[in-house]
Structure 1
Amino acid sequence: MAPFAPALRQGRMYGRGASDAKGQVLAHIWALRAHLEATGRSSPAVTLKYLIEGEEEVGSPHLSELVRSHADQLAADVVIVSDTMLWSLEEAAVCTGVRGSVNAHLEVRGPRRDIHSGVVAGAAPNPLTEICRLAGRLHDDQGRIALPGFYDTVAKPSDEERRGIVQIPFDTDAWLERTRSRSVQGEVGYSVLERVWTRPAAEVVTLLGGDPDDPARGVIPAVASADITLRLVPDQSADEVMGQLRQWVAEQISDGFEYELSTSPTNQDPYVTPPGHPALAALENAMSRTLQRPALRIRNGGGAPAALLAETLDACVLFYGTGLPEDHWHDSDEKAEVKALLQGAETLAYLLDDLPDRLHPEQHGPI
């Protein structure tokens, strides 16, 4: 079957992008239909502006320019970003923040060309060995990131938020099964959910060099490369962290190698929804109505251009996604739970009905 052809099986829609994030867009469309039908209105209770951006997986290189050049047209009281995950289908848990991200590409050069190892092994600079050495030094033995000054501005979550995280029903074995992780790793002294939601992270996501396919030629490669993703939390700055990464690589690289470190122009700062904003209360109420239980608060481990939207449009950013950890985003068996989409549509329909009174008791403004 073609990878982008949807396939419905046992209440799940399979296909590339089904959960990240075509299904999330669909939930918004269904929500508008439900809102109009339930209220009998010919137009929604708030002014809606949909921005469906299709370059997110390649870093959204044109989003900043688009938003800034059309800020007047996109002006809003509230922005809803739907590129996040739910905790589960049973728990009412509203996402209140996302981590920022820095994406960097490191290329290390050793010999001037690929050289047969029988000629120079033991005497020539091996860029694969060097880049693996650097990757191994990215964290200390406590799981902390080794960049100079990296933790200087990391804001710890409030005691209230940490108490809220403890209320999330969490079972390590179930989490390992849902995410298909083999074990729990990371920074010592923090729970799994604290590590994923409230602490920064550094991951090597690609490592290339030598012969990727058999048979190997037995050469020391001239070039090796790695892609590194850093996840940031309040109050870190993507620009500052990129500078810290540059300093660290310059200090750590061994003599006898050349290197180039480049960064994505679309790095993102972290963002947390203001905890007392009335729109957040409206979303929590809507989710509680759908799932018939009080809403808890979570964060998401991934990134989103929320800080850009909040700053450019001077608006509060809410997060409501319909993805689940077990949806296998970016994999060949990615899926969306139809139940999650229906619950999402119901929640968003309630939100459309409730927002006007929450934001403008005397007049309805745009969202």
Structure 2
Amino acid sequence: MSAAVTAYLESNADRLLAELCELLRIPSISAQPEHQPDMLRAAKFLHDQFAAMGFQVETVQTAGHPIVYAEWLQAPGAPTVLVYGHYDVQPPDPLDLWTTPPFEPTIRDGKLFARGATDDKGQVFTHVKSAEAWLKTEGRLPVNLKFVIEGEEEVGSNNLDHFLESRKAALACDVAVVSDTSQYAPGIPAITYGLRGIVACEVALRGPKKDLHSGVFGGSVTNPVNALCRLVSALHDADGRVQIPGFYDDVAPLSDAERAGFAKLPFDEAAYRAELGVSAVHGEAGFTTLERRWARPTCDVNGITGGYQGAGPKTIVPSRASAKITCRLVPQQDPARILDALEHFLNENCLPGVELEFFRFHGCPAFVFDPTSPYLTAASEAIQEAFGAAPVLIREGGSIPVVTTFREVLGVDTLLLGWGQNTDNLHSPDEHFTVADFHRGTLASAALWERLAALPKTVG
């Protein structure tokens, strides 16, 4: 890579970190209306960053929080890359569990502590600063770059899809880049080539019109809590397999090469159990822990409620009970079909005497990037140059809906390049980003633009 770019990042390392701290000081909490002025401040901060570099930049007002869109399109014949990130953050509560205030960035033991440090301000900022390094030293970028940085990722990205649809032509690109994932472990960088999809729903059972005395009426009517527990119990067999008819019909099996790749990764199951505070792992029979986490579908009850939950006994037959359920999906599973099958299964197995209501929430399909793609090869080379180690290829069990949206709306795949660690306390007190990972991520980003420039352009 350009020696001048590398030298610029090294000589300006302290300033780049200080500018990230400026962004981290802004409490851009999208879920809380009182922080609307802070959302505008964060968007303006990014707008000004791009403007100072010579990007064409626009702060796009939406029905919610603004989207910052910036582009530099002065590399004729070179590929176009779309970078996505978000400037909104999770609420910092509980505040008493933070060692230092969440919006007063503090460096301890080589780590930068602040809400948003790794999710996602710190990670997306690496791409902003890598672009700066190229423009300040070479006067150009090796590729055409477009940035979409939104302010609603933590509350569902309600206005992002409309933005992408309405600007589909303007956002045309060869590949997208998102840094909102993690490395595999310290010293082991990773490229995430697969994500599970998701469907979410709630089932509610209504029995008698009011809570009943269990001595007077118990045994003569269906207890909604008992009925719900029976439904939940029926979701899995003794081997951990989901019992919804057709659930596994479309599941794309892991290849032998993928299973072998997972098996080669350093994974200490005892340490994993200790980290989670459990005495044993458990899941679908016939698969390893990593395979279950990353590449097998699941059905989980996320919350359950019903009846009296105060101190001491209260002898009632509750009038209602409910459970929130999510299914994590793998490639080729259709979210709508899975929800249909789940609703049918619950109705078929529901006891008489209660009324079942089924509420559908969000969903998205799984994502897998071709591990032989030249884009992935380019990213691997850039990461090895910056981190001094070749990245491993991993899947992750979570879902990033925007990745599916990019494929469906823009027709492009996404490189998922995480610079942080799973232990960075994302969404938790004392969130942090290792300072060395911030700088290595910025260098990897700068190298990526040069590597991608060597690939053929596919969009007009």
Report the TM-score, using the length of structure 1 for normalisation: 0.88
Shift of 1:288: 1.3
1:268 to 364, 388, 393: 364
Is it true that 1:292 corresponds to 2:388 in the alignment? yes
1:115 to 187, 205, 212: 212
Shift of 1:94: 1.3
Are the aligned partners of 1:14 and 1:333 in contact in 2 as well (CA < 8 Å)? yes
Which residue in 2 is equivalent to 1:350?
447
1:157 to 254, 258, 265: 254
Give 3-state SS (helix, strand or coil) of 1:19's partner: coil
Shift of 1:120: 2.8
Q: Report the CA distance shift for 1:178/1:315 in structure 2 as closer, same or farther (over 3 A).
A: same
Is it true that 1:239 corresponds to 2:336 in the alignment? yes
Are the aligned partners of 1:35 and 1:352 in contact in 2 as well (CA < 8 Å)? no
Q: Report the CA distance shift for 1:235/1:343 in structure 2 as closer, same or farther (over 3 A).
A: same
Which residue in 1 is equivalent to 2:286?
189
Q: Report the CA distance shift for 1:107/1:42 in structure 2 as closer, same or farther (over 3 A).
A: farther
* Distance (Å, rounded) in 2 between the aligned partners of 1:338 and 1:54: 24
Is it true that 1:303 corresponds to 2:303 in the alignment? no
Q: Report the CA distance shift for 1:193/1:247 in structure 2 as closer, same or farther (over 3 A).
A: same
Shift of 1:247: 1.5
Are the aligned partners of 1:104 and 1:227 in contact in 2 as well (CA < 8 Å)? yes
Shift of 1:179: 4.8
Shift of 1:350: 1.3
Is it true that 1:97 corresponds to 2:194 in the alignment? yes
Which residue in 2 is equivalent to 1:312?
409
Q: Report the CA distance shift for 1:34/1:182 in structure 2 as closer, same or farther (over 3 A).
A: farther
Which residue in 1 is equivalent to 2:265?
168
Aligned runs of 1:12-161 on 2, under 5 Å?
A: 12-36=111-135, 40-161=137-258
Unaligned runs of 5+ in 1: none
* Distance (Å, rounded) in 1 between the aligned partners of 2:301 and 2:247: 17
Which residue in 2 is equivalent to 1:255?
352
Q: Report the CA distance shift for 1:135/1:11 in structure 2 as closer, same or farther (over 3 A).
A: farther
* Distance (Å, rounded) in 2 between the aligned partners of 1:175 and 1:63: 36
Aligned-pair identity in percent equals 36
Unaligned runs of 5+ in 2: 1-94
The one-letter code sitting in structure 1 at the alignment partner of 2:261 is G
Shift of 1:6: 4.4
Q: Report the CA distance shift for 1:301/1:340 in structure 2 as closer, same or farther (over 3 A).
A: farther
* Distance (Å, rounded) in 1 between the aligned partners of 2:283 and 2:209: 37
Which residue in 1 is equivalent to 2:73?
none
Q: Report the CA distance shift for 1:99/1:16 in structure 2 as closer, same or farther (over 3 A).
A: same
The one-letter code sitting in structure 2 at the alignment partner of 1:5 is F
Give 3-state SS (helix, strand or coil) of 1:185's partner: coil
Larger deviation: 202-211 or 279-288?
A: 202-211
Shift of 1:160: 1.8
* Distance (Å, rounded) in 1 between the aligned partners of 2:202 and 2:180: 24
Give 3-state SS (helix, strand or coil) of 1:151's partner: coil
> C-alpha offsets along residues 276-328 of structure 1, whole Å, 9 cap, x if unaligned?
32111111111111222233211111011212211211112111123423233
Shift of 1:211: 4.2
> C-alpha offsets along residues 32-54 of structure 1, whole Å, 9 cap, x if unaligned?
334445xx133432222222233
Are the aligned partners of 2:198 and 2:328 in contact in 1 as well (CA < 8 Å)? yes
Shift of 1:224: 1.8
Shift of 1:155: 0.6
RMSD: 2.5
Is it true that 1:282 corresponds to 2:378 in the alignment? yes
Aligned runs of 1:333-348 on 2, under 5 Å?
A: 333-348=430-445
Q: Report the CA distance shift for 1:235/1:259 in structure 2 as closer, same or farther (over 3 A).
A: same
Larger deviation: 71-80 or 208-217?
A: 208-217
* Distance (Å, rounded) in 2 between the aligned partners of 1:170 and 1:160: 18
Q: Report the CA distance shift for 1:260/1:35 in structure 2 as closer, same or farther (over 3 A).
A: farther
* Distance (Å, rounded) in 1 between the aligned partners of 2:219 and 2:110: 57
Shift of 1:218: 4.6
Larger deviation: 152-161 or 8-17?
A: 8-17
The one-letter code sitting in structure 1 at the alignment partner of 2:306 is G
Is it true that 1:5 corresponds to 2:97 in the alignment? no
* Distance (Å, rounded) in 2 between the aligned partners of 1:93 and 1:297: 6
* Distance (Å, rounded) in 1 between the aligned partners of 2:113 and 2:315: 41
Are the aligned partners of 1:106 and 1:262 in contact in 2 as well (CA < 8 Å)? yes
* Distance (Å, rounded) in 2 between the aligned partners of 1:102 and 1:221: 28
Higher relative contact order (CA 8 A, sep 6+): 1
Give 3-state SS (helix, strand or coil) of 1:48's partner: strand
Give 3-state SS (helix, strand or coil) of 1:73's partner: coil
The one-letter code sitting in structure 1 at the alignment partner of 2:379 is L
Query: Radius of gyration: which is bigger?
Result: 2
Give 3-state SS (helix, strand or coil) of 2:147's partner: coil
* Distance (Å, rounded) in 2 between the aligned partners of 1:110 and 1:17: 45
Shift of 1:156: 1.0
Q: Report the CA distance shift for 1:6/1:159 in structure 2 as closer, same or farther (over 3 A).
A: farther
* Distance (Å, rounded) in 2 between the aligned partners of 1:177 and 1:196: 17
Shift of 1:271: 0.9
Are the aligned partners of 1:79 and 1:317 in contact in 2 as well (CA < 8 Å)? yes
> C-alpha offsets along residues 204-245 of structure 1, whole Å, 9 cap, x if unaligned?
112222345546655433222221111111111111111111
* Distance (Å, rounded) in 2 between the aligned partners of 1:18 and 1:213: 39
Are the aligned partners of 2:195 and 2:397 in contact in 1 as well (CA < 8 Å)? yes
Are the aligned partners of 2:190 and 2:418 in contact in 1 as well (CA < 8 Å)? no
